[in-house]
Each structure stands twice: as C-alpha cells, then as structure tokens.
Amino acid sequence: MTFVEVSVALVVAGLMSWAAFSGYETVSAQQEIERGRAEAQQLQSVVRAFALRHGRLPCPAANTDGYESLTAGVCTTGNQVGWFPYVSVGLEQPTDRLRARYSVLRAAHATAAQDADLAVARERTGDAAGDATFLDVTDLIAALNNAATLLFAATRTHLTGDAGAAGAMDCAANPVMAAAYWVVVPLQDKDNDGNRLDAPHALTSLCAASPSAPLRLASDDVVEAESPAQLAGWLRKSLP
C-alpha cells in the first residue's frame, strides 16, 4: 500500500470508530433517561397508592435516610420539600444517582373544612370517629379541592413553564401553576455545577419544571407532577 492509501485507510478507520463511540454514547444516554422516566412513574404510582391508603400525601424526607420527616407522628410544620421518603412508603432506597427530590403542597387552615395541608391526615368532611369514612381518602379529596381554589403563591409547591405554550422554564420569572406534589429524578450533572439537579431545579426550591418540558442539552432531570384537581379526580375514580 502506498503512503496515501495507508493515510486514507487510517482516516476511514478513525471515522468509523468515532461514529461507533458516538452511537454508543447516544444509546447509553437514552437508556439512562428511560430509567429515570420509569423511576419517576413508579414514584407517582406509589404516591397515589399511599394517598388512597392513608388519606394524605407522603411527607418529604429531611435527609437521605428514606424516612418521612415527622414530629410526634405528623409531618413537621413547614416541611414542604426534601428527598423522597422511599423507606416510609415501602420502597428500597435507590442508588444515589436516581434519588428523587420531592415536594408537597401544604396550606394549613384553622378551620378543618378549609384546610389544604396535603401531608396531614385530618377529618375535613364532618365524619365522626367510628364512621366508615372517618379520616379517609375523602378527607384528602376535600383538601385537594380546597387547594385547587387557593390563589397561586410561589411559597407553595408549584411548576414553572415547559419551554413551549406554558412559557419559559424559569422558576423566578415564570411560576405557572400550583402542584399537589412533584418528584424530580436527577440523572447527570448536565450543567456542570457540581449538583446533579439541573436548572431550573435546586435543593431548596419549591418549583419544578413542567413534566411536559423537553429534556435539554443542559438538563436531564425527569419530572412527574399532578395538580390538586388532577389528583382529586384520580382518587375519586379509584374509590371502591
């Protein structure tokens, strides 16, 4: 082979190797995203099942031990965002890279019939102790209905836009709607800030991107969420 032929062969081999490696990276990234989506969907199913069983939503975990942050058996006052309480809801702790952030809407009211603290089981429909529907999911549905009528406040669990019809994915400039809860499964540190949570998500933020937002070059966080009205509707359809 001449020098030119050898050079051409090396170039072709290099291009084929680059194409194969790029394809592998693309497939690996897609598989990671699918794992994140499956995890987020599982957590949504668990939240719903927990709500049906306990008449409230899970309380966020203050640390990574997997347990709800409770005080005297009740979700600690002011606790709106933290880690997902895997152990408390009957799940095994995931690997660190799939550990989800979780936030729940809390709007307590002195009058039970107007209460919208979704992380606390409370009799809101006037049933007496001993009644079949005392402290059950119907009281959570009442709380969700109350939450749906609240004026929007960025100091409670909420969603920002979707980079489409709902506007920019910007928690500061474009808070869009209240959420009964959201879960965010972070995958990789796409924005290279040392934290796997990518913008617009942050550890202390009550805001998450809309679940319909596309995954972007700088963010691969997977979001699942439901509005108070959506969750109330699902619970009503699931009643025996």
- What pLDDT, on the 0 to 100 scale, is given for residue 37? 86
Q: Is the pLDDT of residue 2 over 80?
A: no
- What pLDDT, on the 0 to 100 scale, is given for residue 47? 98
- 21 versus 160: the higher-pLDDT residue is 160
Per-residue pLDDT band for 115 (boundaries 50, 70, 90) equals: very high
Contact 162, 212 (CB under 8 A): yes
Mean pLDDT of the chain: 89
Per-residue model confidence as pLDDT tens digits over 189-218: 777 777 888 889 999 999 999 998 887 767
Residue 75 CB contacts under 8 Å (≥ 6 apart), including other chains: 56, 59, 68, 69, 106, 117, 119, 120
Q: Alpha-carbon distance 41 to 222, whole Å?
A: 10
Burial class for 17, CB neighbours closer than 10 Å (0-12, 13-18, 19+): exposed
Per-residue pLDDT band for 219 (boundaries 50, 70, 90) equals: confident
Contact 100, 185 (CB under 8 A): yes
Per-residue model confidence as pLDDT tens digits over 58-90: 999 999 999 999 999 999 999 999 999 999 999
- What pLDDT, on the 0 to 100 scale, is given for residue 4? 64
Q: Is the pLDDT of residue 23 over 60?
A: no
The fraction of the chain above a pLDDT of 90, given in percent, is 67
- What pLDDT, on the 0 to 100 scale, is given for residue 223? 94
- What pLDDT, on the 0 to 100 scale, is given for residue 150? 97
Per-residue model confidence as pLDDT tens digits over 125-171: 999 999 989 999 999 999 999 999 999 999 999 999 998 888 999 99
- What pLDDT, on the 0 to 100 scale, is given for residue 189? 75
Q: Is the pLDDT of residue 57 over 60?
A: yes
- What pLDDT, on the 0 to 100 scale, is given for residue 25? 46
Give the pair of three-digit tokens for residue 97: 């890279």
CA distances from 21 to 24, 192, 207, 215 (A): 5, 22, 37, 22
- What pLDDT, on the 0 to 100 scale, is given for residue 24? 41
Residue 126's φ and ψ, nearest 5 degrees, are 85, 10
Contact 69, 62 (CB under 8 A): yes
- 35 versus 125: the higher-pLDDT residue is 125
- What pLDDT, on the 0 to 100 scale, is given for residue 96? 79
- What pLDDT, on the 0 to 100 scale, is given for residue 220? 85
Mean pLDDT, rounded, for 5-27:
60
For 226, what's the count of Cα atoms within 13 Å in the CB-facing half-sphere?
19
Contact 82, 69 (CB under 8 A): yes
